[in-house]
Amino acid sequence: MDKRTSQERSVRNKRDASTRVEESKVAAMQLQLLPPDVLRHILSRLSLKEVVRLSTLSHEWIRLRICHPDLVLTQKTFFGKIVAWRTYQHPETTKFITKVDKLLRPLWSTSTTTTTTLDKFVIKFCLGRRHKYHIDKWIKFSTASRSKHIALDFTMDRTSTGRESDKYVFPLRNLGGPNGSCIKSLELGYVRLKLPPNFCGITNLTKLALNKVSINEADLHSLLLSCAFLESLSIEFCFLKSLCIRQELSRLQCLRVRYCHLEMIELHAPNLAKFEFDEYHRQIVLAECLKLSEATFVSNLRLSVINIDDFELNYAFPKLPTAIPHVHKLVALLNFAQLVRFSNTQTSFINLRHLNMNLEIFNEPYDTSVFLVLVNILQSAPLLEELELHLGRYTGSFPSPRVTKAARGPQHHHLNNVYISGFCDALGLAEVTLYMLENATVLERMVVDPVSYGDPYTDSIYSASKAGSRKGASYNISRNRVFAKEHLDREEFGHILTIL
């Protein structure tokens, strides 16, 4: 009886399995009958991992991967984690290349044509010149697929520069003319660029990002000038002598230049609106960029133990108002010593309306009364309306009780909004805060928050608009709050001051 029941159950299971296979085949056939745009919309709602898993239902599903608009191929895509290494010999490199080839092989019909249309094609992995055969095929596929956004990031670990001879030579000729007419953005990391003869530019490129890219100045200038619609340019860890382009970059709106050790930056970009830079530039000339309204300075040396005052590249600080005279909003991530240099400006920020300073103070100087230089900064920005001062975690302590008096200085007739986070008992901070409360004649609101939101080990910048979006440090909050109330909480400031 038991044997008969077991046989019946086995037959029934086989019948059910057969039915499921037939149903999956019917489903695949039905999906194939849908218009390509509908299939693309369906698959775009799935992750790439889900689409690959879905394709295992039937061989017919493999062809449906053509419709997925984003191919973002990274360590995490295939291995579910990010592993750091510094050589091309890591065993997962071969696995990564094999998996990419296996994924892409069904998507092209020949070596030069494909029925796939992509929005994004991204490869992020530690690769180099020795992988040229595979990378060349991937690039041909991306252009044949009419990809709008292409990113090839082969950057090594930041602590390792690698050898120039290890870098893959990116074939710009593949993107010139009709082949690259669909490309809107191009991001390249750890490659070499050499412009081919008679290069006609990437026709519709609007965004270009270069990270650890080897290219000479002449080729970079020609590349930028050949991209007539370029709106955004980011250059990082590209060691050039200068970035001086005297021809007009009429469409450029955003410029980011970091870690490049340039003698000079000089551009003629009438529509430039945003500029991010660091102290690794001796001279900046953007006076003709009349629409440059927002600038961001991020110091790479703010955590350094060297004497910043002796660092020769910092002499550009006093010249900032001349370099970016039309800026309305300035964001600065710096340290105490740089704050002093920042206050020694030779001219005024005549158009500055909003100033946001993220100040690292965990390695506090012996005399923290340098906060008083904020009075000089306010004088150098006579039309300033909003001031944000976000302080890193302060571990020092000054004896209490102590007498606190407002710092001396002239009245300020435009400052109406002040936000201070990381408020503490560092000498000079309460004094300059009282100065603003007493001398800003149109001050409407001041918020004093004892919580510090800064992260000294990243380039992230905190602002009042992000209040509540980031967890703050809990160090000495109660002590700082008591200190703020003891020295600032006065009846005459009740309608202006808020201590959190």
Dist. CA 72–CA 332, nearest whole Å:
33
Burial of 331-355, coded b for 16+ CB within 10 Å and e otherwise, reads: bbbbbbbbbbbbbebeeebebbbbb
State which residues of the chain have pLDDT below 50.
1, 21, 23-26, 28, 85-88, 110-113, 158-159, 308-313, 315
Residue for token digits 């999906």? 31
- Considering the domain boundaries, does residue 40 fall inside one? no
Task: Tokens for 113, please give them.
Answer: 């044509």
> Domain span at residue 392?
353-500
Q: Look at the block and give the residue holding tokens 């892409």.
A: 104
How far is residue 122's CA from residue 126's CA, in Å, rounded to a whole number?
13
Question: What 8-state DSSP symbol labels residue 422?
Answer: S
Closest CA to 190 of 207, 174, 210: 210
At residue 153, φ and ψ (nearest 5 deg) are -115, 105
- Give the contacts of 261 (CB within 8 A, at least 6 positions apart): 239, 280
Report CA 254 to chain centroid distance, whole Å. Answer: 12
Per-residue pLDDT at 24: 47
The model's pLDDT over 359-408, given as tens digits with 9 standing for 90+, comes to 887 655 555 566 888 888 888 899 999 999 998 877 666 666 667 788 88
DSSP string for 22-80: HHHHHHHHHHHTS-HHHHHHHHHTS-HHHHHHHHTT-HHHHHHGGG-SEEEEEHHHHHS
- Summarised one tens digit per residue, pLDDT across range 262-292 is 888 999 999 999 999 988 888 888 878 889 9
- Report if residue 380 sits inside a domain: yes
Task: Judge whether 423 lies within some domain.
Answer: yes
User: Using CA atoms, how far apart are residues 455 and 297, in angstroms rounded to an integer?
Assistant: 16
- Beta-sheet strands, E only, within 171-308: 185-189, 191-193, 207-211, 232-236, 242-248, 254-258, 262-268, 274-277, 281-285, 294-298
Cα distance between residue 306 and residue 242, in whole Å: 26
3-class DSSP assignment, residue 284: strand
How is residue 428 annotated by DSSP?
T
Place of tokens 């046989």: 7
The dihedral built from the CA positions of residue 101, 105, 107 and 112, taken in this order, carries a sign that is: positive
Backbone angles phi, psi at 185, to 5 degrees: -135, 145
Angle, alpha carbons 117-118-121 (nearest 5°) = 145
Residue labelled with tokens 């800003």:
440
Task: Note whether residue 392 is domain-resident.
Answer: yes
Residue 191 domain flag: no
Residues whose CB falls within 8 Å of the CB of residue 371, separated by 6 or more in sequence, listed in order:
426, 427, 428, 429, 431, 432
Find the helix or strand (DSSP H, E) in which 121 lies.
strand 120-124
Residue 89 lies in a domain: no
Residue 320 lies in a domain: no
Euclidean distance between CA atoms 184 and 178, whole angstroms: 13
CA distance 16 to 458: 56
Which H or E element spans position 217? helix 217-226
H and E: helices and strands count for the chain: 13, 20
Rounded CA separation 123/79 (Å): 14
Which of helix, strand or coil describes residue 474?
coil
Q: Which pLDDT score is estimated for 35?
A: 64
User: Taking a C-beta distance cutoff of 8 angstroms, is the pair 168, 131 a contact?
Assistant: yes
On whether the CB atoms of residues 244 and 264 are closer than 8 A, the answer is yes
For the chain, the farthest-separated pair of C-alpha atoms sits apart, in whole angstroms, at 103
Residue-level pLDDT at 185: 95
Instruction: Report CA-CA distances (Å) from 337 to 3, 249, 367.
Output: 87, 36, 11
Looking at the structure of the chain, the number of domains it has is 1
Would residue 276 count as lying in a domain?
no
Take residue 204 and report the two structure tokens written for it.
Answer: 């519709």
CB-CB contact of 25 with 31 (8 Å): no
Burial of 10 (0-12, 13-18, 19+ CB in 10 A): exposed
